[in-house]
Amino acid sequence: GARALGERLLLLDIDLVALRELTPVCERSAPFVGWRPRMPWGSTLRYGGGLYLLTAGARPHVWYRFEGQSSIDLARRKGFRGSDQAWISYALGPDEDAWPSDAGIYSIRDLRNGKLPLPRDARLVQFNGPQKPWNTQLKWAREAWR
């Protein structure tokens, strides 16, 4: 995979809006860097499944130990919610590197689904939930997503 995709990979879900230069997001050097959403949702030690940075081949146990629904069920029994994010959070554990709160990464839920103004430092906004950047009424999101 590293030969085809490159040594360092940044995964962004399609419902994530990039608003500013992403270089600062990519400058972390840890083998895996996760995003911990600000809003509580299940375990506070979770990683959001829509954004992470990794070195190709890092943390192979996350993929090799995954056994479909039974792995998701195990992660949920341990207090994690969701599907991919539940398993990733459970399999990685609490000690992975994560972007700090001042990295400019937000969930649309942090903005009360667009009722709060866009923070000045917003670099990335994840549209986790039913509102998506391709059908939102938020002008800044529609323009940036294009």
- What per-residue confidence (pLDDT) applies to 100? 93
Residue-wise over 1-18: b if at least 16 C-beta within 10 A, else e? eeeeeeeeeeebeebbbe
- pLDDT of amino acid 41: 60
Distance of CA 30 to the CA centre of its chain: 16
Q: Which of 25, 45, 29 is closest to 105 using CA atoms?
A: 25
The predicted-structure confidence for 99-117, as pLDDT tens digits, reads as follows 998 999 999 999 999 999 9
Q: Which of 51, 26, 19, 53 is nearest to 37 (CA)?
A: 51
pLDDT (tens digit, 9 = 90+) per residue, 23-79?
Answer: 999 999 999 999 988 776 655 678 988 899 999 999 999 999 999 999 999 999 999
Residue 132 has pLDDT above 90, yes or no: yes
